[in-house]
Amino acid sequence: MFVGNESADLRLMLVDSAQCFHWSLLGDGSFAAVVAGRPVRLWRDERGVQAEGGMDALALRRYLDLDRDYAALAAEYAHIPAARRAIELYPGLRVLNQPAWEALVAFILSANNNVGRIRGLVDGLSRALGPEFEIGGRTFHGIPSPAALLDCEEEELRALGAGYRAPFLIGSALTVAEGFPLDELGTMDYEEAHELLAELPGVGDKVADCVLLFGCGQASAFPVDVWVERLLKCWFGIDCGGSRARMARAARERLGAHAGLLQQFLFHAARMGDMEL
């Protein structure tokens, strides 16, 4: 199935840029995952991005953010040298639109972890509790649903590596199962959505902004971790006394409605050492 001929770098988007943690690179160069309970395999050929599995082309275009004008994004920030350089470095980078629940689980697990460890935790949890599908001759599992997590005891999740995050997963699953408007956060004002999301167990400012950016389409959400804190100080002169919440607010005010999209380019450039801090 043809998805599009935009210059999307699938490896950068799905594996290398730390937006999500459950895609796998297969031996033939394609990428596979279970997304929203549906198996998907993606690859590029001479025509563009191709896919097979349970998602249609329209859903995949939205997931991969192929309909956003990234040339316009580059023009919007062309007057800022660090922003211009970061966008130039990664012409194939796009910010994914993931299912909000999957982003929530992944970023709760991300707290105080590196990318490799997060991938391992998401994989272990999915293998034990998620839906199973065959993709490209291999078995893959999706991120478990709220109901699947609620069927678990806390000690079971701890044994899967969740550690102190286990009660946060169960508590958030219960809140979502009881009607928390997770899938409506993308239509809310940013401040309202952030305040609501931060009420969930294990969801602080940074996790909330990750979920809003990568799972709810809130393009101004600006997650601040150690790399982003450094780059804000170095490239933008934003310090705020070390308060990451205030730094995120200052970045949103300075960079506007697409601050979070730009953040992903800046974050990747800093983390990879492609731009010197």
Q: How confident is the model at residue 66 (pLDDT cuts 50, 70, 90)?
A: very high
Q: How confident is the model at residue 137 (pLDDT cuts 50, 70, 90)?
A: confident
CATH topology of domain 2-66+98-215: Endonuclease III; domain 1 (1.10.340)
Q: Is the pLDDT of residue 141 over 90?
A: yes
Q: Is the pLDDT of residue 277 over 90?
A: no
Domain positions in the chain are 2-66+98-215, 69-92+219-277
pTM score, whole prediction: 0.95
Contact 97, 65 (CB under 8 A): yes
Contact 217, 178 (CB under 8 A): no
- To the query of whether residue 206 is one of the catalytic residues in this protein, the response is yes
Q: What is the pLDDT of residues 245-257, one digit of tens each?
A: 999 999 999 999 9
Q: What is the pLDDT of residues 11-21, one digit of tens each?
A: 999 999 999 99
Q: What is the pLDDT of residues 194-242, one digit of tens each?
A: 999 999 999 999 999 999 999 999 999 999 999 999 999 999 999 988 8
How would DSSP label each residue in the chain? -EEE-S---HHIIIIITSS-S--EE-TTS-EEEEETTEEEEEEEETTEEEEEESS-HHHHHHHTTTTS-HHHHHHHTTTSHHHHHHHHH-TT-------HHHHHHHHHHTTT--HHHHHHHHHHHHHHHS-EEEETTEEEEPPPPHHHHHTS-HHHHHHTT-GGGHHHHHHHHHHHHTT--GGGGGGS-HHHHHHHHTTSTT--HHHHHHHHHHHS--TT-----HHHHHHHHHHH---GGG-HHHHHHHHHHHHGGGHHHHHHHHHHHHHHTSS--
Q: Is the pLDDT of residue 113 over 90?
A: no
Q: Is the pLDDT of residue 42 over 90?
A: yes
The overall average pLDDT reported for the chain is 96
The per-residue pLDDT for 149 is: 97
Rg of the Cα atoms in the chain:
18
Mean pLDDT of 125-133: 96
From the candidates 206, 252, 268, 271, give the one annotated as an active-site residue: 206
**69-92+219-277 architecture in CATH?**
Orthogonal Bundle (1.10)
| Adjacent-strand bridge partners of 49 | 4, 44
The per-residue pLDDT for 111 is: 85
Q: How confident is the model at residue 189 (pLDDT cuts 50, 70, 90)?
A: very high
- What are the backbone angles phi and psi of residue 99, rounded to the nearest 5°? -60, 135
